[in-house]
Structure 1
């Protein structure tokens, strides 16, 4: 196993955990929230290594957060937002947002606009990933409800 990969995974776990502590997530949800964050980042890295591109990776990463966050919320009997918000931290386009501000401050509006478009595309990709996860969850529950009523 590559040491750089292991450092990234541990860093994502710690960052997710620290942000969860910062926003007062209950202690019994911390570990599972960190694991949801790591799983979503692994999906993001896998997508990027196979297909390239940060937008698709963020869609699938957010989809993973949506699905695993729902499973974690049901398992711990807690609100889903307790798991989704901290797990989103590794996918947030903070570096690109910093570059936007830097290039605006230095007067390089062309590069600022390029990075602003990246931030907008990543934010949209995250929203689409959460939307698709919610759609998949609702569809799953609807189909299982139909099957239960059909069998009964």
Structure 2
């Protein structure tokens, strides 16, 4: 079942890549980055980590691998980052939030909504943290302090 889901995430990454006109030569790498981030989240969740923390580390992994792929393949990091973090976006939770609020289950809707916002924040902070750390490491290595 895990392989089936990983292949599905890879195909979703390909679709996102085609939608955003990512060059064909790097499309498999970009989609693979999405699978990598999704596997990090799935693995950490299976080990008992909270979803927000697992999503942060998945986002961190996607952003770091995007920077490394960009440097290796001489393309912008955004090409690899977009299909990398899309599988982490909490679409199901956002739908559940709206469905609960519309159906009058306000308490449950707000609880799921807060978790949705936290997951979105974890994605953003993971991208920010990894990009900042990567740039600091590159500048330090180049001798710029």
Fold-level match, TM-score > 0.5? yes
| Residues paired across the two proteins, number | 144
CA RMSD between the two structures: 1.4
- Rounded to whole Å, the distance in 2 between the matches of 1:108 and 1:50 is 31
The residue matched to 2:76 in structure 1 has which SS?
coil
The structural deviation recorded for 1:143 is 2.5
Determine if the alignment matches structure 1 residue 105 to structure 2 residue 102.
yes
The structural deviation recorded for 1:142 is 2.6
Determine the structure 2 residue equivalent to 1:31.
28
Determine the structure 2 residue equivalent to 1:60.
57
Determine the structure 1 residue equivalent to 2:130.
133
The structural deviation recorded for 1:76 is 2.4
Moved >3 Å (runs of 4+): none
Please, which runs of 5 or more residues in structure 2 have no aligned partner?
A: none
Equivalent in 119, 132, 136 of residue 122 of structure 1: 119
The structural deviation recorded for 1:59 is 0.7
The structural deviation recorded for 1:57 is 0.7
Determine the structure 2 residue equivalent to 1:91.
88
- Rounded to whole Å, the distance in 1 between the matches of 2:81 and 2:28 is 13
Q: Which has the larger radius of gyration?
A: 1
TM-score, structure 1 as length reference: 0.88
Determine if the alignment matches structure 1 residue 72 to structure 2 residue 69.
yes
- Rounded to whole Å, the distance in 1 between the matches of 2:26 and 2:97 is 34
Determine if the alignment matches structure 1 residue 10 to structure 2 residue 7.
yes
The structural deviation recorded for 1:134 is 1.2
The structural deviation recorded for 1:99 is 0.6
The structural deviation recorded for 1:62 is 0.5
The structural deviation recorded for 1:40 is 0.9
- Rounded to whole Å, the distance in 1 between the matches of 2:62 and 2:16 is 15
